[in-house]
Amino acid sequence: MSGTSAWIFPGQGSQSVGMGAATLASSPAARAVMAEAEAALNEPLGRLIAEGPAEALERTEQAQPAILAMSIALLAAARERAAAIGETLPLPRYIAGHSAGQYAAAVAADALSIADGVRLARRRGELMQHSGGGRPGAMAAVLGLPEAAEGDVVAAGTAHGILVLANRNSPGQIVLSGEVAAIEAAIIAATAAGAKRAVRLQVSIASHSPLMREAADGMREALAAATVRDPRVMMLANADASPITTATELRAELANHLTSGVDWIAAVTAMSAGGTTRFIEVGAGRVLSGLVKRIPAASTAEVLSIDELYAATAAGA
């Protein structure tokens, strides 16, 4: 491996009961990460991940620290296996997280400790669940909408309330976020504009929208009280893929991205333009890997999961 790699960290939605079980069973380093996360939260997070129930793990305040702990545990396992054969897992050129994945990314960049990372992720989830000033939020996934029609769809929604383009995940895949009436109007407009599918997501919050302003304010307070260091590896902002190289920039990102969007296309394009030829998804599942493969700037890049890297490292590849 070389400095042409990027580590990418998934956010909420990548969790599942039993995730990482094989790695936790075989890797002392992974178990040590989970133990540190449990001590920080003072609860058996590993048991929730292993046994569920799924409804509890899917709760925002549980899912976000669980995803962080698992991502860092998988990374620790890969480093452990490399060390066992006398190698070192080199740092990548870039580190980027998708939404809540920015917290795991910050831990991997040595800007946050594991303990602070899971506590901040827990606080983020709690604040998001109660943000919005009593206004119910909603989100919708829209697939196959012509890019030229996006502005008209957003305008149709905003005629009925707050609505923003929250995620630009890959060509032809966006997520809208805002008030319920605005989301419902946007779904109708997207379907009329030729979207292959426009469906409301099963969530009751409006992530990456102005309805998260209270949560963002709360996270600024939490981040001010936490120890945040300059990232050892360049991170990228969710909204515009701008570089994050200082603790001050990272604090701003981790609060501001609650009310701004995630442009994953811009992040992957920036990393590719910066010389990335290998994207490694550090987390359970393959959500981001699938998105990266659909982004033209990364069409010739190698895309793999940390589990695959773990196997390659074990074989001495």
The catalytic site residues sit at 99, 208
8 Å CB contact between 138 and 200: yes
Burial (CB count within 10 angstroms: exposed 0-12, middle 13-18, buried 19+), residue 133: exposed
Residue 35: alpha-carbon gap to chain centroid: 22
Kind and range of the H or E run holding 282: none
Q: What are the structure tokens assigned to 215, written together? A: 């949560």
**Could you tell me what percentage of the chain is helix, strand and coil, using 3-state DSSP and rounding each to the nearest 5?**
50, 15, 35
Residues in contact with 252: Cβ distance below 8 Å, sequence separation at least 6, in sequence order: none
Cα 33-38-44 angle, rounded to 5 deg: 125
Find the helix or strand (DSSP H, E) in which 13 lies.
Answer: none
| Beta sheet of 262-263, edge-to-edge order | 197-200, 137-143, 173-179, 163-170, 262-263
Both tokens of residue 99?
């939404």
d(CA 134, CA 155): 23
